[in-house]
Amino acid sequence: MTKTISIIGATIHGNHGAEAMLNATIGRLREFEPDANFVIFSYLKDADRKVSKDNTIQICGASPTDLVFIMLPFSILLALLKIVRLGALKQFFPAGVRHMSNSDLLIDLAGVSFIDGREKFLPFNVLTLLPAILLGIPVIKFSQAMGPFKIPLYNFTARHILSCCRQIFARGDQTADNLKMLGGSKIKWRVASDLAFLLKEEDSLTDHGIETGLEITKKLNALRESGTKIIGICPSSVVAKKAGQPYIDNFVRLIEQLLEGGNAVVLFPNATRADHMDKSFNNDLPLLRSISVAICDDQRDKLITVQEDIYAREISAVISLCSMVIVSRFHAMILALLAGVPPIVIGWSHKYSEVMKQFDMESQVSDFKNAEIRDLQAMIKSTLDDNVRLRNSINDKLPVIIAQSRSQIEYVSNLLCHEI
CATH of region 209-385: 3.40.50.2000
Task: Report pLDDT digits (tens) over 50-60.
Answer: 999 999 999 99
Residues 139/108, Cβ–Cβ less than 8 Å: yes
User: Vertex 415, ends 409 and 420: CA angle to 5°?
Assistant: 120
Task: Report pLDDT digits (tens) over 152-171.
Answer: 998 999 999 999 999 999 99
What percentage of the chain has pLDDT greater than the value 90? Answer: 90
The Cα–Cα gap between 201 and 20 comes to 10
Q: Which CATH number fits domain 4-200+401-416: 3.40.50.2000, 3.40.1280.10, 1.10.8.60, 3.40.50.970?
A: 3.40.50.2000
Q: What's the whole-number average pLDDT of the chain? A: 95
Q: Which candidate, 14, 87, 70, 18, places its Cα nearest to that of 46?
A: 14
Instruction: Please report which confidence band the pLDDT of residue 419 belongs to, taking 50, 70 and 90 as the band edges.
Output: low
Residue type, 10: A
Task: Report pLDDT digits (tens) over 308-355.
Answer: 999 999 999 999 999 999 999 999 999 999 999 999 999 988 899 999
What burial class does residue 217 get, using C-beta atoms within 10 Å of its C-beta: 0-12 exposed, 13-18 middle, 19+ buried? middle
Read off the pTM.
0.96
- Indicate if 209-385 has the same CATH topology as 4-200+401-416: yes
Residues 80/73, Cβ–Cβ less than 8 Å: no
Domain ranges of the chain: 4-200+401-416, 209-385
- Report, as an integer, the average pLDDT of 220-235: 97
